Amino acid sequence: MTQATNPITATNDFVVKFANINGSGSASANELFAKCILRMGVPVSPRNIFPSNIQGLPTWYEVRVSEQGWLGRRGGYDLLVAMNPQTWDTDVAGLAPGGYLFYDNSKPLPKSKFRDDITVIGVPLTNIANGNWDDPRQRQLFKNIMYLGALSVLLGIERGVVVHLIGEQYKGKQALLDPNVHALDLGREYATQNLPPSGLQIERRDNVGDRIFVDGNSAAALGMVYGGASVCAWYPITPSSSLAEAFQKYCAKLRVDPETGKHRYAIVQAEDEIASIGMVTGAGWNGARAFTATSGPGISLMNEIIGLAYFAEIPVTIVDVQRGGPSTGMPTRTQQSDVAFCAHASHGDTNHVLLFPEDPHECFEFAAQALDLADRLQTPVFVLSDLDIGMNQRLCKPFEWDDARRYDRGKVLTAEDLEAGKAFGRYRDVDGDGIPYRTYPGTHPARGGYFTRGTSKNADARYSEKGEDYVENVQRLQRKLQNAKSLLPQPLLHQAPYPARHGAIHFGSTAPAMAEAIAKLDADGMHIDALRVRGYPFADSVRAFIDAHEQVFVVEQNRDAQLRGLLVEQFEIDPARLVPIVHYDGTPITARFIAKAIGERLGAADVRQIRDGKVA
Amino acid sequence: MTYLPKPKIHHPSLQRNRAGFIRRDYEGAISTLCAGCGHDSISAAIIQACWELDVQPHRVAKISGIGCSSKTPTYFLSASHGFNAVHGRMPSVLTGANLANRELMYLGISGDGDSASIGIGQFVHAIRRGVDMVYIVENNGVYGLTKGQFSATADAGSKSKKGAINNDAPIDMVGMALQLGASFVARGFSGDKAQLVPILKAAMSHKGASFVDVLSPCVAFNNHPGSTKSYDYVREHNHALCRMDFISKRDEITVDYPPGAVREVRQHDGSTLRLRKLPESHDTGDRVAAMNYLHECQARGEIVTGLLYVDPDAPDLHAHLETAPVAFNTLGEDELCPGAVRLESINAALR
């Protein structure tokens, strides 16, 4: 072990980066590490950085420990657990000065492989594993638990917490439990006897509260179960596949008729995304709540039917877990780059409802709400999640459900309504809100039947190619979408402690980094108001927010400032008033990035002068 | 096409079927297809089959893609809900509709362009899954609505109206349906209503994926010498595998043929298919034999029509998915929402 001259010392505030090889079984050990810290009452936010690969390529797991509760990616790392020789050089080069390098020293490495300004901690993991297990697979898996053991000693993580978590993981599987605890203790024993504690320490706190630790895809899937989705059609695509799989898992637990064992759900893995959206559209037309989960390339394929659902006014719910582009399009990296595309998906004059969850809690909430909105508005509704929220476990508020809540099935005429002589014309605007009434197929022997098609139709759903019928219909659709604004989740305002001339608009997974950036800027005397938009079309209050500030930064994770474009389009605002702050390299945006970008632009203007309403 | 609608008034003495409907209740709007179009004969056969089966029109969902064939659902069963979806995507829309409510009868109406080209993937997978439906391809070997381009079912060597020769090998959807596991496979000819109506009745009574390919000449673009989908060509080369009588479960089954000359197949719903003039060598319950027979006839230049294969006990998609025997669109919070208490225990497990 070599010691840096200026080692970092920090308690409950540092970043650990695990560099592993995909398929080596490291994921569960790393997750266990993050959970141990949570169980000690200290917030963490872990992020998987993984390749499009099943075995062999490098994968990283970054755990940010933050007593203050900052859950965005911090950037940089203070402790490197270097388990992958392929990436050793770049991993070691990226370690913060004064940081700690933890590695398997079973085989000696030349001095050139290390740095002088870091503390090097070697544990002969391979040698210990080889001395304890014969099976190569077991040697590999238990090596992971052994480094967890050694780290727990170095960082001051209580043994009882780790053992308890392993116990939960292998509940009822004693044959797996015992060797895992044994491996843990081998790691602990070595560290206790050979290594001094590091300058990075975990101390017990009570800062986690009743929050839960879950990934957004599982949360959205559960929201679909609670929201009453009975049909799910999907096609495998990273990073959304785990959503459909979680829906399957939850349905198997929560949606089986206890008496007959029959399923109150139908999940079809379709042949492609075109078929997925076709099935969802067919099911929605026929009155079941249906959804699909996909990512950008899937949305590309779905476009034609999304347009059909829009014009034919069929409830459809789509969760888009955003990533990079088509083909080998950074499928395992995060982005918010489908915003403009989804807002106007398909050909013709279309416009769609978008919801922007910030974390798994909102993934759950918005999934259930999307089903209501789709039924109420009879239109496609998109939940725009992303890989950062979808595939990483995130500390968030617990899920909530009010048993008094009823599903909003929208304007549906029943057999009794029709029997009572209620007039029916499928696309008539009876209530003046642009939303027509519909009937489910098979409702009444003589009334309420109609023919569904694209745009060649009149208000009574009869075939028509007349220009005036078309115009009347698409103008009503426009009114319908405008009226929808008040039904969507409203924007949330964070007000600066002092009157601010500048504002920032952000959405989705940018939220935790934004909150931290604002705190940083506040500390530097630069105060900005922030508005997190949660739905599109934008609420009128978004316009009011922009009007109330001289300049508004629009912070997003795509190249083209897509949300900004939608703001300019909807409010017909002078684009110069909206300053884009964009981050799009595939990694989650950080507070450092936002604070620096905004800070630089604010640097010229001395914002402190208005702190007390006078020049300081 | 005609533009003179028939009067809506019904003569009170018109015969009603057991469901209480007269035959005209199964009709639709006036066809806008060309006079003599084979598709109109198929619509008429669908009307006749539904009327004879005492189907309640509103319990049928008719779903189509895009093309001349896909326009036809407007021309029959006007009391049914219809859905003119996008090109080639009828199968997926129908599959979703079927998942949402398994209690309706699903008629999927498509054409050879819709199903053998742009939508062939969806055709393949809907059949594979065993969606409970009657999938009808109105097959004329040509794109009619875009004025006469070859479709993928056009035979190699056949001639277009403008004189071009098709060099591409044809797709035989009947052969594909057999290979893909359809549990009811038949081929009809729009010019042979006596054969087509019982085929459709049998298909509608079948539980599972029924595939019916109906040769349906296009009088505007594919009814000339040199075409292999013209009325004349199909009549000359038609090899009717057998004659079929459809006997519903309430009809008394009487045998007026010498034993051995008929074969009877009892379907899931209690109806019986009586097959006459079936060659001794052909067993409609043998998928491999059906495929062989189809290809043998094809090699001889014959177009085999009739019921080729039926498995009366095949499981459908709902059986595979083990879905509850209810229409999902009738389920409410009680059946779908696990409730707050359950959610609290889920929360607890995530801490």
- Angle among Cα A309, A313, A314 to the nearest 5 degrees reads 60
Whether residue B5 is contained in a domain is answered as no
CB contact under 8 A, B328 and A272: no
Q: How does residue A613 score in pLDDT terms, banded at 50, 70 and 90?
A: very low
Whether residue B335 is contained in a domain is answered as no
**Segment B288-336, tens digit of pLDDT:** 999 999 999 899 889 999 999 999 999 999 999 999 999 999 999 999 9
Task: List chain A residues with CB under 8 Å of B346.
Answer: 222, 399
Collapse the DSSP code of A18 into the 3-class scheme (helix H, G, I; strand E, B; otherwise coil) and give the result: strand
**Closest Cβ opposite residue B350 in set A212, A230, A284:** A212
Whether residue B219 is contained in a domain is answered as yes
Check the CA dihedral A407-A410-A414-A416 and report its sign.
positive
Best mutation target, A235, A279, A419, to test chain B (most B CBs within 10 A): A279
Task: List chain B residues with CB under 8 Å of A271.
Answer: 121-122, 124-125
CB contact under 8 A, B328 and A230: yes
Q: Kindly state the DSSP code that residue A78 receives in the 8-state scheme.
A: E
**All structural domains of chain A:** 10-201 (3.40.920.10), 214-396 (3.40.50.970), 411-488 (no CATH), 492-610 (3.40.50.920)
CB contact under 8 A, A406 and B333: yes
**Closest Cβ opposite residue B323 in set A210, A263, A403:** A263
C-beta separation of A381 from A318 below 8 A? yes
Question: Is residue A614 predicted with pLDDT exceeding 50?
Answer: no
Residue A309: CA atoms inside 13 Å, Cβ hemisphere, count?
Answer: 39
**In A215-357, where does DSSP find H-type helix?**
216-227, 241-254, 273-285, 296-312, 339-343
CB contact under 8 A, A400 and B343: yes
Instruction: Indicate the number of domains in chain B.
Output: 1
pLDDT of residue B4: 66
Q: How does residue A615 score in pLDDT terms, banded at 50, 70 and 90?
A: very low
Share of chain A above pLDDT 70, in %: 98
Residue A137 Cα to chain centre, angstroms: 33
Q: How does residue B259 score in pLDDT terms, banded at 50, 70 and 90?
A: low
**Segment B282-294, tens digit of pLDDT:** 789 999 999 999 9
**In A439-538, where does DSSP find H-type helix?**
467-484, 511-523
Distance CA B319, CA B316 (A): 5
**Segment B113-133, tens digit of pLDDT:** 999 999 999 999 999 999 999
Could you tell me the two tokens for A506?
């952000």
CATH number for position B29: 3.40.50.970
| Nearest residue to A391 via CA among A355, A363, A371 | A363
How distant is the Cα of B69 from the closest Cα of chain A, in angstroms? 15
| Mean pLDDT across A394-413 | 98
Domain that holds residue B306: 23-330
CB contact under 8 A, B57 and A445: yes
Whether residue B317 is contained in a domain is answered as yes
Task: List chain A residues with CB under 8 Å of B324.
Answer: 257, 260, 262-264
Residue of A nearest to B118 (CA): A274
C-beta separation of B257 from B180 below 8 A? no
Question: Is residue A607 predicted with pLDDT exceeding 50?
Answer: no
Whether residue B2 is contained in a domain is answered as no
Task: List chain B residues with CB under 8 Å of A254.
Answer: 338, 342
How distant is the Cα of A575 from the closest Cα of chain B, in angstroms? 38
ipTM: 0.95
Task: List chain B residues with CB under 8 Å of A405.
Answer: 333
Distance CA A472, CA A515 (A): 45
**Segment B40-89, tens digit of pLDDT:** 999 999 999 999 999 999 999 999 999 999 999 999 999 999 999 999 99
DSSP codes, A176-235: HHHHHHHHHHHHHHHHHHH-PPPSEE-------TT-EEEEHHHHHHHHHHHHT--EEEE-
How distant is the Cα of A331 from the closest Cα of chain B, in angstroms? 25
How distant is the Cα of B15 from the closest Cα of chain A, in angstroms? 18
Question: Is residue A349 predicted with pLDDT exceeding 80?
Answer: yes
Task: List chain B residues with CB under 8 Å of A450.
Answer: 81-82
Whether residue B348 is contained in a domain is answered as no
C-beta separation of A535 from A488 below 8 A? yes
Question: Is residue A201 predicted with pLDDT exceeding 70?
Answer: yes
pLDDT of residue A5: 84
Least confident span in A204-213, A264-273, A414-423, B272-281:
B272-281
Q: What is the pTM of this model?
A: 0.95
- Reduced to 3 DSSP states, what percent helix, strand and coil does chain B have, rounded to the nearest 5? 35, 20, 45
Whether residue B10 is contained in a domain is answered as no
Distance CA A352, CA B253 (A): 58
Q: How many residues does chain A have?
A: 616
Rounded to a whole number of angstroms, the CA Rg of chain A reads 27
| Mean pLDDT across A458-471 | 96
Distance CA A292, CA B72 (A): 30
Backbone region of residue B6 per phi and psi (left: phi > 0; alpha: psi in -120 to 50; beta: other values): beta
| Mean pLDDT across A24-36 | 93
**What are residue B264's DSSP bridge partners?**
B274
Whether residue B1 is contained in a domain is answered as no
CB contact under 8 A, B93 and A271: no
**Closest Cβ opposite residue A282 in set B59, B95, B317:** B95
CB contact under 8 A, A278 and B122: yes
pLDDT of residue A1: 65
pLDDT of residue B187: 95
pLDDT of residue B335: 97
Task: List chain B residues with CB under 8 Å of A226.
Answer: 337-338, 343
Residue B129 Cα to chain centre, angstroms: 16
Backbone region of residue A583 per phi and psi (left: phi > 0; alpha: psi in -120 to 50; beta: other values): beta
